[in-house]
Chain A
Amino acid sequence: GQNIDQPTEMTATEGAIVQINCTYQTSGFNGLFWYQQHAGEAPTFLSYNVLDGLEEKGRFSSFLSRSKGYSYLLLKELQMKDSASYLCAVRALPYGGATNKLIFGTGTLLAVQP
């Protein structure tokens, strides 16, 4: 089976840096994605890792260690509009399965305070 864990909630200050962790256990790993979701809206894609290391996209960076089953999303220069849920999602080819599927973690609700 698959297991993806994230902290439930985090709080950070405007202008600061925050790191949101994600740990996973899965077979057939084929990539890890980070999505942002504001209340009542659909998730929007932020970042993607398939190989170990750091991917940087503006204020957002994501890191992956496949051997440790670990990823984090780093948000710099926090803004009030960054208050949202951050979802870690793993794409994997299940044992005995024919196609990849995308499974989401529990999500982390980030509150950015002035």
Chain B
Amino acid sequence: DAMVIQNPRYQVTQFGKPVTLSCSQTLNHNVMYWYQQKSSQAPKLLFHYYDKDFNNEADTPDNFQSRRPNTSFCFLDIRSPGLGDAAMYLCATSGRGLAGVAHFGPGTRLTVL
């Protein structure tokens, strides 16, 4: 089945130790989003790609970077994780056209020790 896959599902890192989260899709969608979701809060958009065009949100910390080497894969790099970066990180994709429903992966829960 076509889907959005995130690895790993659970990631534990140490304060200040760089970490990379990955997202892959078999939907051939041109848009990929990264969201951060903390407990009892709505998903917060960090950035998104339209094809290879990168769109950063104004309030996304510089600590967060992203790469999209091809249509299928997208990475979220957290250069120096702080305790406040512990959250669920959600990847979503959407296709062309007016509907463009966003399909979410299962998320990666990041713990920072």
Binding site for B on A (CB under 8 A): 30-31, 33, 41-45, 48, 50, 87, 89, 91, 97-107, 109
| A20 CA / B110 CA spacing, docked (Å) | 31
Contact A104 B55 (CB under 8 A): no
Contact B102 A98 (CB under 8 A): no
Say yes or no: A87-B43 contact (C-beta < 8 A), given A33-B102, A99-B48, A100-B100: yes
**Among B33, B42, B106, B107, residue most surrounded by chain A Cβ atoms (within 10 Å):** B42
Residues in A with CB closer than 8 Å to B48 are: 99, 101-102
Binding site for A on B (CB under 8 A): 31, 33, 35, 40-45, 48, 50, 53, 55, 90, 92, 94, 98-107
Known: A33-B101, A87-B43, A98-B53. 10 other contacts (CB 8 A): A89-B102, A98-B50, A99-B48, A101-B33, A102-B92, A104-B44, A106-B41, A106-B42, A107-B42, A109-B40
Please tell me which one of the listed residues A30, A102, A106, A107 contacts residue B102 in the complex, with CB atoms under 8 A apart: A102
| A86 CA / B58 CA spacing, docked (Å) | 26
* 6 shortest interchain CB distances as A-B pairs: A99-B50, A42-B104, A104-B42, A107-B42, A104-B43, A42-B107
Contact B33 A102 (CB under 8 A): yes
Residues in B with CB closer than 8 Å to A109 are: 40
Q: What's the least CB distance linking A104 to chain B, in Å?
A: 4
Contact B104 A103 (CB under 8 A): no
Contact B104 A43 (CB under 8 A): yes
Contact A43 B90 (CB under 8 A): yes
| A105 CA / B41 CA spacing, docked (Å) | 9
Say yes or no: A44-B31 contact (C-beta < 8 A), given A87-B42, A99-B55: no
Contact B98 A103 (CB under 8 A): no
Say yes or no: A45-B101 contact (C-beta < 8 A), given A101-B45, A102-B33, A103-B45: yes
Residues in B with CB closer than 8 Å to A42 are: 90, 104-107
Q: What's the least CB distance linking A7 to chain B, in Å?
A: 13
Q: What's the least CB distance linking B37 to chain A, in Å?
A: 9
